[in-house]
Amino acid sequence: MCGILAVLGCSDDSLAKRVRVLELSRRQFIFLNPSLSSLSLSLSSMFPYPIKTLKHRGPDWSGLHQHGDCFLSHQRLAIVDPASGDQPLFNEDKSIVVTVNGEIYNHEDLRKHLSNHKFRTGSDCEVITHLYEEYGENFVDMLDGVFTFVLLDTRDNSFMVARDAIGVNSLYIGWGLDGSIWISSELKGLNDECEHFESFPPGHLYSSKQAGLRQWYNPPWFSEVVPSTPYDPLALRHAFERAVIKRLMTDVPFGVLLSGGLDSSLVASITARHLARTKAARQWGAQLHSFCVGLEGSPDLKAAKEVADYLGTVHHEFHFTVQDGIDAIEEVIYHVETYDVTTIRASTPMFLMARKIKSLGVKMVISGEGSDEIFGGYLYFHKAPNKEELHRETCRKIKALHQYDCLRANKSSFAWGLEARVPFLDKEFINIAMDIDPQYKMIKREEGRIEKWVLRKAFDDEEHPYLPKHILYRQKEQFSDGVGYSWIDGLKAHTAQHVTEKMMVNAARIFPHNTPTTKEAYHYRTIFERFFPQNSARLSVPGGASVACSTAKAIEWDASWSNNLDPSGRAALGVHLSAYDRQVSSVSPGIPAIINNVPLNMEVNHPGVAIRS
């Protein structure tokens, strides 16, 4: 996948504008000091230094096509057809131009139905130009994959923009004072050029012919009507295996992210089973590489090593310290473009790991995001009062993924030119999983049904086991917790030293929108505002109360949660095996609590985040 930037209908079609678009797409940012937040530098004062906008997303090639007042720019990370798939891409007579960030997994099947068309490359994305020729704008639902793209029809100077169903790939839309429309993979491409910008909604397309957005993805679960289809474990298993197998489409070295939890372990197990029969194995060998990150002695490192040994992968274990993570926070916020607390907590280890993985020559990894949203895997789902509430909460969680886990996985890996693929968010698999009667997803500990029981049961094969039993039934551990409990505790202690009580008193006046209510949240917000001072930027980040990654609505499930609002899984009191002390929230102001021998400031309980995953 890649990075895209398009300027459509601008008033200036001069060479200077072309140079500006190239600059926005290609320039690099240099962080001079890991403690930059302590320096009194404004964003404008940093501009003399090169700024990394989109080049990090696609270091392999840059392309720019101009047609009159429209510019389509592309930064390529070459995964499929590295030799000839440079973008922008064209149809036969070059009247249709497209810049794409994505992977189209069914492109070979689609090519068979486009036999009357001449293809110039082996790129999976080239089918988009020819599908448009055949079907106009009504082809997007035919694409099986993840994508964002801008297509320009030079015959009438019309254009369309589309984003994949769930929003796996990041995309933003902005408007200039001159009437231009800007499209970018990241906020960085827009925040200096547009009067207003916002996240481009998943499952939508924008048509210049209709001058507006319309929803192209509208599956049955989207309406939140409670389904009644009986649970079929084999149907679920086979659907997920298909989702993983199609993501083995690659012409470059790849691996799997392996935390040792259920989701990543299943991804690794299925990949290891099917890798030998793929083109990737013929090119790069049939032994799978796996990657894990954590603090020394963390739960994930231990579990991942056990799974790797069981599956026979070439396992790479990366260690980081709390200080390593703290030193990276500035860069993480710049790249991930959020001030959401748990997104930053979880993005930092992934950001550090992605850099290590890319240094090994790997350009693509397969990851386990999305399972908890689909199956009610977060620990707060233990308190779901009934199947109707559980189902509606899973629907809310999936719809919000593009603001949280998809954003984290996409941007923290692409910061280093590494692509992360997420089979749990496969369109076909989601439709099957969300059509299951949610009574089967209800957690019933008295019956031995823990969180994500339907997924665990689907892969509980006694004859040909996918995983060791205790891994298959390991309790849910959020990524930011699993890398080591002292990571979050250390972050809280660090920010408590840098944010004063006086700052917190005035927080609502300084940050009236999504006011930070903990010192940790305040610290992240100040960094974010320095990089992205525009009102549109702060409005692009969601807010609200959360406990253990819940939506604000789900807090109603347990009255005690309102006094223990923290997005960590350990906030699920009475559920998590290493939950926070039930009394910790009542510690007097100024007296630090101690968890895992790390000072933990609990003076304010509410981190001001929502729908975290």
Select from 339, 327, 323 the least CA-distant residue to 530.
339
H or E element that contains 407:
helix 405-414
Please list, in sequence order, all residues whose beta carbon lies within 8 angstroms of the beta carbon of residue 268, skipping any fewer than 6 positions away. 256, 258, 288, 290, 307, 308, 311, 313
Distance CA 169, CA 51 (A): 22
- H-state helical runs in 151-277: 233-246, 262-274
Residue 453 DSSP class? H
Distance CA 60, CA 75 (A): 7
* C-alpha of 436 from chain center: 25
- Phi/psi for 330 (5° steps) reads -55, -50
Asked about 2 being catalytic, the answer comes back as yes
Please list, in sequence order, all residues whose beta carbon lies within 8 angstroms of the beta carbon of residue 369, skipping any fewer than 6 positions away. 263, 401, 405, 406, 408, 409, 420, 422, 424, 425, 613
What are the residues facing 290 on neighbouring strands? 256, 315
Select from 55, 1, 56, 60 the least CA-distant residue to 355.
56
Cβ pair 186, 148 in contact under 8 A: no
Residue 57 DSSP class? G
Cβ pair 96, 154 in contact under 8 A: yes
Q: What is the dihedral of CA 70, 75, 81, 85, to 10 degrees?
A: 20
Active site residues: 2
